Structure 1
Amino acid sequence: MNSPRLPPAILIMGPTASGKTAAAMALTERFPVELISVDSAQVFRDMDVGTAKPDKATLARYPHRLIDIISPEESYSTARFRQDALAAMAEITAAGKVPVLVGGTMLYFRSLLQGLAELPQADAALRAGIDAEAAKHGWPAIHAKLAVLDPSTAGRLHPGDSQRLQRALEVCLLSGRPMSELLAESEQQKPPYDFLQIALLPSERAVLHKRIERRFDEMLLAGLDEEVHQLRQKYQLSLELPSMRCVGYRQAWEVQDGLLPARELRERGIFATRQLAKRQITWLGNSFAAEGFDCLDPALSERIAARVGAFLRL
């Protein structure tokens, strides 16, 4: 006898400027779905221009959950996102619809799919000690030490992978438990959904870069600098807050404080956005079992709709 199918959920992931929002909104025209934003910048109220947040008319027609939910003075953790997203998914599923989670914050997606391992925070003194031991005896010796404490993790790490070896040994020494054991516990947090993972990836990176340039130019014309000025007037902000570390906002702030020449705002903003896109693409390649779609394909929305229809058996 076949087990009953888990309720479906759809993830639309991709780098900045890959057309994720447009693809998700197109699904709402054809399927019984509701949208959940997976964007660590769009959670902030009054940050509209620099986050490429859909405008009010668009959001009225295509509502997104988890947009405009906190002040720029606040922080929004990965754990809170996971809690909020699962609650929203449960409500959507209970209403007989399918949750579509769309965005580019890959850490949020990973936490949703894989759970959150409760690993100890980094300890600078302990790391320095591990580094000193490695400098004296070599990283293979650290690997051998880890193999005694956590053979499972050591078995999947190369003896020369210093960064991961350092972290794995640090976790063992701080927690008194193997990191593999802690990660296995997070596996038990996987939500009870049948996920369709869709990744929007560019067939030509240069074309995505042109999109990024065009979009950043549009943000500048739409008043990104003025938006940052107004935010600073309205809220108690600093460059250390997550909201002001967002791409575009940091650069505009630095221009306003004379830390960056105004003529460099465009160049620095575009460069930072390209670096963000690069990291997002790397995440997609390394951390997800997603089905890839060319985000530059003119028929992208139709191809995604066909795949979603097959997934939902509609």
Structure 2
Amino acid sequence: MSGHARNEDKPAIDTGRAVLIAGPTASGKSALALRLAEQAGGVVINADSMQVYRDLRVITARPTEADEARVPHRLYGHRDAAINCSVGSWLDDAAAALAEARANRWLPVIIGGTGLYFKALLRGLSNVPPVPAEVREAVRARLARDGIEVLHAELARRDPDAGARLKPRDQARVARALEVIEATGRPLADWHGEGLPPLLSPAHVTAVFLAPDRAELYRRIDQRFAAMLKQGAREEVRALAARGLDPMLPAMKAHGVPVLIRHLRGEATLEEAQMVGAADTRHYAKRQFTWFRHQLPEFRWVRPEEAWDAIAA
């Protein structure tokens, strides 16, 4: 049971509205969302591309079971690590979560750090058809056999725009672009403009980006990664590695996962793994600042301690 009041006791919610809380990892988004959902009669909807995987509770700092029991939470740990949860898949899941929220007159409180999820939510998404598993597996097998340079050269020949735009080291996007051509006979750019409409209007949302002091944020990231190891992150990654999944899958590239796998193989000490995992997370936080600043000007930047008043206003 959640801590929600009965329907007749809940405040009236404008069913067209939503609150969006974005920000870098470890900026305090979850605590803010939980407080808001409790007070406003809301549901917390995840917009973090790694927290969707059920295999990764500790290493991705998903809400605890106790927090999830206080108010409804959606799209946390609902996907298996063997699945590539694309932006389109998440958008389908988010549409269902928003429909449930409106039916129950819950305020949707959508939180996360994955900019592409928020961009799709507010701007829509190109309607690329699903790529059959056999096509994806064939492209990945060629990548492993022939190397990224060969696949990038093929992409440049078959889709010159994508070949020029994507760097050879960007294995995931090069493979994705080739998969779309193989599956549909059309380059990715052809599908742009034939997209899915946005689920929310920027005019009807309150959108904030939590922007803590950088030095304080990086200190919190380092502390949190150390805490994750004490809470069982290494054992969680050991169980994930034992599944023998494709290392190209998103869950296998979550911050801290690759270096902890190397540690479990004896290729890095635990101290080295902690140092690399925290550093990777700090670099990701820096990219989150840059991405949101340039891509989503709809978000109002606030210091975490000012966020509650900004949302209430």
Q: Same fold (TM over 0.5)?
A: yes
Q: Deviations over 1:230-272 (max 9, x none)?
A: 3334x34343322121001111111112333433111101110
Which residues of structure 2 form unaligned runs of 5+?
1-13, 132-150, 167-172
Pairwise CA distance, 1:300 = 3.7
Pairing partner for 1:246 from 254, 257, 260: 254
Matched position secondary structure for 1:29: helix
Aligned to 1:196: 206
Matched position secondary structure for 2:207: strand
Verify: 1:20 aligned to 2:26, yes or no: no
Q: Deviations over 1:130-158 (max 9, x none)?
A: 99x9xxxxxxxx9xxxxxxxxxxxxxxxx
User: Cα–Cα, structure 1 residues 176 and 224, in superposed 2: closer, same or farther, change >3 Å?
Assistant: closer
Counterparts of 1:280 and 1:252, CA distance in 2: 23
Counterparts of 1:51 and 1:215, CA distance in 2: 10
Aligned to 2:234: 225
Task: Return the letter of the residue paired with 2:65.
Answer: K
TM-score normalized with structure 1 length: 0.73
The equivalences for 1:258-273 within 5 A come to 258-273=266-281
Matched position secondary structure for 1:237: coil
Pairwise CA distance, 1:93 = 1.1
Pairwise CA distance, 1:33 = 1.6
Pairing partner for 1:83 from 72, 92, 95: 92
The equivalences for 1:252-291 within 5 A come to 252-288=260-296, 289-291=298-300
**Bigger radius of gyration:** 1
Aligned to 2:152: 124
Aligned to 2:312: 306
| Range 254-263 or range 87-96, more displaced | 254-263
Counterparts of 2:277 and 2:85, CA distance in 1: 23
Verify: 1:206 aligned to 2:234, yes or no: no
User: Cα–Cα, structure 1 residues 192 and 256, in superposed 2: closer, same or farther, change >3 Å?
Assistant: closer
Asked whether the 8 Å contact 2:15–2:102 carries over to 1, the reply is no
The equivalences for 1:107-146 within 5 A come to 107-118=116-127, 124-125=152-153, 128=156
Pairing partner for 1:35 from 39, 44, 67: 44
Pairwise CA distance, 1:89 = 0.3
Task: Return the letter of the residue paired with 1:278.
Answer: K
Pairing partner for 2:225 from 216, 231, 235: 216
Counterparts of 2:44 and 2:206, CA distance in 1: 14
Task: Return the letter of the residue paired with 2:51.
Answer: Q
Aligned to 1:48: 57
Asked whether the 8 Å contact 2:42–2:71 carries over to 1, the reply is no
Pairwise CA distance, 1:126 = 6.2
Pairwise CA distance, 1:94 = 2.0
Give the aligned length.
265
Asked whether the 8 Å contact 2:121–2:200 carries over to 1, the reply is no
TM-score normalized with structure 2 length: 0.74
Aligned to 1:98: 107
Runs of 4+, deviation exceeding 6 Å: 174-178
Asked whether the 8 Å contact 1:44–1:72 carries over to 2, the reply is yes
Pairing partner for 2:73 from 54, 64, 79: 64
User: Cα–Cα, structure 1 residues 66 and 286, in superposed 2: closer, same or farther, change >3 Å?
Assistant: same
Counterparts of 1:52 and 1:258, CA distance in 2: 25
Pairwise CA distance, 1:71 = 1.8
Q: Sequence identity, in percent?
A: 35
Asked whether the 8 Å contact 2:34–2:67 carries over to 1, the reply is no
Pairwise CA distance, 1:176 = 8.1
Verify: 1:11 aligned to 2:17, yes or no: no
User: Cα–Cα, structure 1 residues 257 and 177, in superposed 2: closer, same or farther, change >3 Å?
Assistant: closer
Aligned to 2:11: none
Counterparts of 1:195 and 1:252, CA distance in 2: 39
Task: Return the letter of the residue paired with 1:239.
Answer: P
Asked whether the 8 Å contact 1:6–1:192 carries over to 2, the reply is no
Task: Return the letter of the residue paired with 2:210.
Answer: L
Matched position secondary structure for 1:30: helix
Asked whether the 8 Å contact 1:73–1:236 carries over to 2, the reply is no
Pairwise CA distance, 1:99 = 1.1
